[in-house]
Amino acid sequence: MTPMRSLFVRSLIAGAALLPAGALAQQACLQPAEKTAFDIRALQSQLMVVAITCGLQDDYNRFVTGHQPDLANAFRTVGAHFRRVGGGQRAQDSFITDLANRQSQVGISQGMAFCQNQAPLFPLAIAARGRDQLAALSVQQQIPNQYQPPLCATPARAQGQQRAQGQSQQRPQGQQQPRPAQQQPRPAQQQQQQQPR
């Protein structure tokens, strides 16, 4: 690692150490759009660390240029999340710094293998189309992201859970419910005998 990259990594670690410990402690649920945004931010942060560590700034610039609207939207959505759950700009800054710090520590722990392992991520990220593919790539590649509160329950999701609970209390599909007793039709001979003459 060059002295400049080493200085960058140390500054990330030092910056994270200065942040208040409880800044990320207050975690709330994620809306689906917020989950997508956090996955994209994790991917972008990982690519930034790879670019600086491995000298791939041109690849990083291509990635940012090709996905500028999605990256900007993800940044705004992450900010809106922290305003919604509390913490605002300070919590957002803490998240971004801590994310880069943790990803840099992974790079340090892998040593020379880090660049070999992570450089192939650039072509995949550059080729991705739209935010959903970027978020899916982040999840598929298991990009480190320390902020993972549960997904918020949406009305449709809550209704689906209620239906599933109701169905589990009903009979299994293979069993038929007993039918009420029906009067069996009488044979024709019996009907004729009972008729008055």
Whether residue 169 lies inside any domain: the answer is: no
pLDDT string in tens for the chain (197-residue length):
555 454 444 444 444 333 333 333 335 899 999 999 999 999 999 999 999 999 999 999 999 999 999 999 999 999 999 998 888 889 888 888 888 888 888 888 888 899 999 999 999 999 999 999 999 999 999 998 888 889 888 665 545 555 555 554 454 444 444 444 444 444 444 444 444 44
CA gyration radius for the chain?
Answer: 29
Domain that holds residue 135: 3-9+29-140
Query: Is residue 180 in a domain?
Result: no
- Classify residue 30 by its DSSP letter: B
Which conformational region is residue 14 in: left (phi greater than 0), alpha (psi within -120 to 50 degrees), or beta?
Answer: alpha
154 domain-assigned: no
Number of domains in the chain: 1
Whether 36 is covered by a domain: the verdict is: yes
pTM of the model: 0.65
- Whether 90 is covered by a domain: the verdict is yes
Beta-carbon contacts of residue 151 (< 8 Å; ≥ 6 apart): 29, 30, 31, 32, 35
Q: Kindly state whether residue 61 falls inside one of the protein's structural domains.
A: yes
pLDDT one-digit tens code per residue, 87-141: 888 988 888 888 888 888 888 888 889 999 999 999 999 999 999 999 999 999 9
Residue 178 lies in a domain: no
Residue 162 in domain: no
41, 78 Cβ separation under 8 angstroms: yes
